[in-house]
Amino acid sequence: VIQIYICVGSSCHLKGSYQIVKDFERLIKKNKIEDKVEIVASFCLGCCTNGVSAKVGDEIIEGLNSSNIEEKFKEYVLERI
Ligand code: FES
């Protein structure tokens, strides 16, 4: 199971972590990979400058927002499955 850590630290929280969690959940369902990935809330990942941060494996994804999430999901999650 691949863990997707989504930062819910204060900065990311203000930039919309909750929406990002929702978006990830939607994409996971849409791709029918519920049994392959899991969403985990994370503390500050240390890169709070732009958008919401997340981490998949050792890779940090910076600057997530509702317009780039689909593309990032493909790149960081679907590519690993
Ligand atoms: S609050 Fe999210 S990376 Fe710092």
Q: In this predicted model, what pLDDT tens digit does every residue of 5-44 receive, in sequence order?
A: 999 999 999 999 999 999 999 999 999 999 999 999 999 9
Q: What is the pLDDT of residue 73?
A: 98
Q: How far apart are CA 1 and CA 81, in angstroms?
A: 9
Atom of ligand 1 nearest to the CA of 9: 1
- Nearest to residue 81, comparing CAs of 54, 55, 56? 56
Structure tokens at 48: 């709070």
What sections of 15-81 are H helices per DSSP?
17-30, 69-76
Say what angle helices 69-76 and 17-30 make with each other, to 10 degrees: 60
Q: At residue 50, does pLDDT exceed 90?
A: no
Q: What is the pLDDT of residue 4?
A: 98
**Which residues, judged by CB distance below 6 Å to any ligand atom, belong to the binding site of ligand 1?**
7, 9-12, 44-48, 53
Compute, in angstroms, the gap from residue 53 CA to the centroid of ligand 1: 6
Q: What is the pLDDT of residue 74?
A: 98
Instruction: Please state, rounded to an integer, the average pLDDT across all residues of the chain.
Output: 96
Q: How far apart are CA 17 and CA 23, in angstroms?
A: 10
